[in-house]
Structure 1
Amino acid sequence: MKKLFLLFLTIGVFGLSQQQAQAQELGTDYRNAIGGRFGIANGITFKHFIDNDRALDFIVNFRSKKDSYSTFRVIGLYEFHNPINNAPGLKWYYGAGGGVGVYTNKHTDNSEVALSFDGVLGLDYKFTGAPINVSLDWKPALEITPDTGFDAEGFGLSIRFAF
């Protein structure tokens, strides 16, 4: 039993060191981050760097207007990150992607598919020496279904655990 425990511990330490080495090779302060997104829509966010300046950001969020509607959406964004001179750990980013989910009308209790094209523009900061990442962004969306329209209210604050 002790040998099995030591084997799993060794594999775990090796895996974590490889992830840290990959993040350093990419030139990013972190490779992955998971946490909460707070704003008009609240939810969970997971960011994964695929290269030095490119990341995938996945958001699962919930939004509700008291007597009108509620939505549940899954959004995927492809982001380009750029450093800000003389501000270590701070980057600005932009990107685009899409969302799919469910829109529920609270008056009729009818649910429909919600599709959107999403953009993003924001600031990303990784605290030095701590596994904390914070981002503030604007995520406008062009809603395709159930109604076509432009949603410009997508401001959000994300607080993530970086690893």
Structure 2
Amino acid sequence: MKKVFLTLLAASFITVGFQKANAQTPYNTALGLGIDLGDGQTLVGPQIKHSFGGANAGNAQVLFGDNHVLIGADYSYNRQFPGTNGLGWYVGVGPQLSFVDRGNDDDTYFAIRPAAGLEYKIPAAPLAFHFDWKPWWNLSNNTNFEAARFSLGFKFTLN
């Protein structure tokens, strides 16, 4: 039942994202540092976000922690708040693979991570920041849902 729900949720986000919209990200590509924090371990590593036109964007990251590597990619639907200069919101979802080294017992986890957040691009500088709620919905190795997960990002924007 969870897999059916996740498939429908992902399909909904993709369908909404492919609708024609005006440019909604104030840059084309950004490179930076991602921080994943909350309940459990804090992970840090590089990330890249790229706008595919309109409100559609993709984000990829490789994050590291103690004996832990997370690889993920997300689709996001992005919109700017009317009357603001550089402040926007986004919702998205994407798959994540997590590799945990426990010495003799290594584990690999597959998760779906929805995200809802805010992003601010400084108008006079090539810098952007984001904060989002990004829960961890593990679908393997004793499935579980961790609601108290968040992400921060600090990016250098390229046009």
Q: TM-score normalised by the shorter chain: which range applies?
A: 0.7 to 0.9
- Cα deviation per residue 1:94-144 (whole Å; 9 max; x = unaligned)? 011101131233xx5411221101111100111112110100111112112
Question: What whole-Å deviation, never above 9, does each CA across 1:18-52 have from its counterpart, x for those lacking one?
Answer: xxxxxxx9463210001111242222211000012
> Structure 1: which 5+ residue stretches go unaligned?
1-24, 65-69
**Identity over aligned residues, as a percent?**
25
Q: Which amino acid aligns with 1:153?
A: A
The letter for the 1-side match of 2:83 is N
Q: Specify which structure has the higher proportion of helix.
A: 1
The reply to whether residue 126 of structure 1 matches residue 121 of structure 2 is yes
For residue 142 of structure 2, give the secondary structure of its aligned residue in structure 1: coil
Q: 1:71 to 1:130 in 2, by over 3 A?
A: same
One-letter code of the match for 1:59? Q
Counterpart position of 1:37: 34
Take 1:144 and 1:28, find their aligned partners in 2: how far apart are those partners?
31
Residue 20 of structure 1: aligned partner: none
> 1:130-141 alignment to 2 at 5 Å?
130-141=125-136
SS in 2 for 1:158: strand
Aligned to 1:80: 77
Q: Distance in 2 between matches of 1:27 and 1:60?
A: 25
Q: Give the equivalent residue in structure 2 for 1:63.
A: 65
Match of 2:137 in 1: 142
Counterpart in the other structure of 1:18: none
Cα distance in structure 2, aligned partners of 1:27 and 1:139: 21
Paired amino acid for 1:34: L
Structure 2 regions of 5+ residues with no counterpart? Answer: 1-21, 38-42
In our comparison, the structure showing a higher alpha carbon Rg is 1
Cα RMSD of the aligned pairs, angstroms, is 1.7
Read off the aligned partner of 2:136 and give its amino acid letter. A
Report the number of matched residues. 132
Determine whether 1:103 maps to 2:105: no
Partner deviation per Cα, 1:54-76 (whole Å, 9 max, x = no partner): 10011111234xxxxx4211111
> What TM-score do you get using the length of structure 1 for normalisation?
0.74
